[in-house]
Amino acid sequence: SQLLAGGPRAVFQNALEWAKLASKHDFLNCIEAYQTTINLLPQFIWLGATTRQRYQDLSTAENLAVSAACAAILASEYMLALKWLEHARCVVWNQSLMLRSPLDQLHSSHPALATRLQTVASQIHSASSENQSIGHRAVLSNSMTPEQAGQQRCRLAKEYQELLAQARQLPKFENFLRPMTAENLTSAAGNGPVVVINCHTDRCNALLILPGNTDITHIPLTDFTEEKARTSRIQLEKSLRLRERGVKPLWQPQYKDHTESVLATLWTHIVKPVLDALGYINDPPKDSLPHITWCPTGALSFLPLHAAGDYSQPQERVFNYAISSYTPTVTALITSTPTTLGTNCRVLAIGQSATPGHGTLPGTVKELASIESHMQGKAEYSQLVDYQATTRAALDAMEQHDWVHLACHAHQNVADPTKSGFFLHNGTLDLASINQRSFRNKGLAFLSACQTATGDEKLPDEAIH
């Protein structure tokens, strides 16, 4: 029995157990089981819940995307594996982006529907990302109780889904705000190969999206597993534990630095096999280096693939063969806003050389001066430093600028990822506060702060940093 009866939480957990069982027994259809489970994910991680609750619920999904993709790869269904990785990762963030999606095309032909959809989306976004204290302060109005606020979120979420269904019944809007198909995803390699690495408990696999190619290339990475990724992360964290932004560690004779061994492991078992498959090792680029975008999953998301290499040997480092960048999802590459600087582009730099309650960061003064110098004649530059950089001032300025550079202390809140943020002059600029603002058509955000790439170990595929 598929046991798909009951409330959304129970139904999802039953489907997940079915998928896990099916993946261990050949006579069961694990592809059907995982497809069913992924189809149920939007009902389990529901828009009617707060952002915090959705993150908590996701932590019980047991790396669904990675497990499902592994099953699809074993069945040689590489396109399906890519689609599942996209649909079941960065779930909460993608929901937030959907609520902010521009509705210009719908508005031009069906203005009333588009206006109502935009209104409801804005209300959901505001309600679900609202910070709630232990005392459960009112969410949507000063007179609303927590129970009433929850009912309001549920009503708005239901109306939003009904409005989406109406829009999708209209001609030319059948796929309105739906996730991208696998075929659409293959267009992401416009600037060079995209390497999606599925890091599973039992095995690791790379899925390559190549320029001008509609097929997915599969590379088995049999010598690397999730356990190796976790071990490498622990070793790397120990090596970096005494470091904060602007602080060098004291030498400790009993301590062994594992950084080079971790980078060598990544090179040998992950990066070099990929570069070899791309032909870069035997035939290195002679002119400009090609660009590779890495899209790691699971525990591998916390490791520096861009620095991989055997540093005891010449020409055994990834940057000898390619320029690396990262993306949380393939979809993000396709939908991202171009980040080319122009004279009309506005660049904001926020620096904290002496944040109250934290160590001094004198290097931020020189850092911002260097940015200002580089922006001369290229873009409009402004900055907020020290006492000027309050949380409100920073948010207001970010809305008025295209690029932002933050040079300060920061913190990753493991217990509540939405409380992770930057330490500014009068407090913490956290993810929840940032998420409440509507930042449309923005470009580059450079986070020159400690812990801003740390992520959440319990939710490695949610890009919470």
Pairing status of strand 204-209 against strand 194-199: antiparallel
| Stretch among 51-55, 74-78, 161-165 having the lowest mean pLDDT | 51-55
Residue 341: pLDDT over 80: no
Segment 185-197, tens digit of pLDDT: 999 998 899 999 9
Which of 95, 126, 155 is the endpoint of a domain?
95
Residue 244: pLDDT over 90: no
Q: Does 463 reside within a domain?
A: no
| Stretch among 22-31, 93-102, 192-201 having the lowest mean pLDDT | 93-102
Cα separation of 191 and 219, whole Å?
21
Higher pLDDT, 463 or 419: 419
DSSP state at residue 181: P
Residue 2: pLDDT over 60: no
Q: Does 151 reside within a domain?
A: yes
Residue corresponding to tokens 């409330």:
7
User: Taking residues 175-183, what's their average pLDDT?
Assistant: 89
Residue 165: pLDDT band with limits 50, 70, 90: very high
Q: Which residues contact 297 (CB under 8 A, 6 or more apart)?
A: 65, 66, 69, 85, 89, 196, 197, 198, 199, 460, 461
Segment 264-273, tens digit of pLDDT: 999 999 999 9
Give the pLDDT confidence score for residue 458 in this predicted structure.
Answer: 63
Question: Which residues span the domain enclosing 47?
Answer: 8-95
Q: Does 464 reside within a domain?
A: no
User: Taking residues 351-370, what's their average pLDDT?
Assistant: 93
Give the pLDDT confidence score for residue 137 in this predicted structure.
Answer: 41
CATH code at 304? 3.30.420
Give the pLDDT confidence score for residue 146 in this predicted structure.
Answer: 82
Q: Which residues contact 224 (CB under 8 A, 6 or more apart)?
A: 199, 204, 265, 269, 270
Q: Does 234 reside within a domain?
A: yes
Residue corresponding to tokens 């932002």:
404
Which of 124, 140, 168 is the endpoint of a domain?
168
Residue 1: pLDDT band with limits 50, 70, 90: very low
Cα separation of 449 and 446, whole Å?
9
Give the pLDDT confidence score for residue 431 in this predicted structure.
Answer: 85
**Do 128 and 150 fall within a single domain?**
yes
pTM: 0.84
Residue corresponding to tokens 């409440």:
436
Give the pLDDT confidence score for residue 290 in this predicted structure.
Answer: 94
Segment 368-411, tens digit of pLDDT: 999 999 999 899 999 999 999 999 999 999 999 999 999 999 98
Q: Does 465 reside within a domain?
A: no
Phi, psi of 374 (to 5 degrees): -70, -25
Q: Average pLDDT of the chain?
A: 87
Give the pLDDT confidence score for residue 4 in this predicted structure.
Answer: 58
**Percent over 90 (pLDDT), the chain:** 61
Higher pLDDT, 323 or 252: 323
Give the pLDDT confidence score for residue 434 in this predicted structure.
Answer: 87
Residues paired with residue 292 on neighbouring β-strands, in sequence order = 324
Determine the Cα angle at 459 with ends 455 and 465, to 5°. 25
Segment 25-62, tens digit of pLDDT: 887 899 999 999 999 999 999 988 988 889 899 999 98
Number of structural domains (the chain) is: 4
Cα separation of 63 and 58, whole Å?
9
**Do 426 and 367 fall within a single domain?**
yes
Q: Does 176 reside within a domain?
A: no
Cα separation of 437 and 100, whole Å?
10
Pairing status of strand 204-209 against strand 216-221: antiparallel
Higher pLDDT, 91 or 287: 91
**Do 274 and 135 fall within a single domain?**
no
DSSP-based three-state secondary structure for 250? coil
Pairing status of strand 346-351 against strand 204-209: unpaired
Cα separation of 442 and 403, whole Å?
7
Q: Does 228 reside within a domain?
A: yes
**Do 54 and 119 fall within a single domain?**
no
**Do 328 and 397 fall within a single domain?**
no
Give the pLDDT confidence score for residue 128 in this predicted structure.
Answer: 77
**Do 236 and 318 fall within a single domain?**
yes
**Do 354 and 325 fall within a single domain?**
no
**Do 189 and 319 fall within a single domain?**
yes
**Do 246 and 272 fall within a single domain?**
yes
Encoded tokens for 406: 């933050």
**Do 202 and 299 fall within a single domain?**
yes
CATH code at 377? 3.40.50.1460
**Do 202 and 328 fall within a single domain?**
yes
Encoded tokens for 292: 């590779």
**Do 159 and 270 fall within a single domain?**
no
Give the pLDDT confidence score for residue 249 in this predicted structure.
Answer: 52
For the chain, give the number of residues.
465
Give the pLDDT confidence score for residue 224 in this predicted structure.
Answer: 95
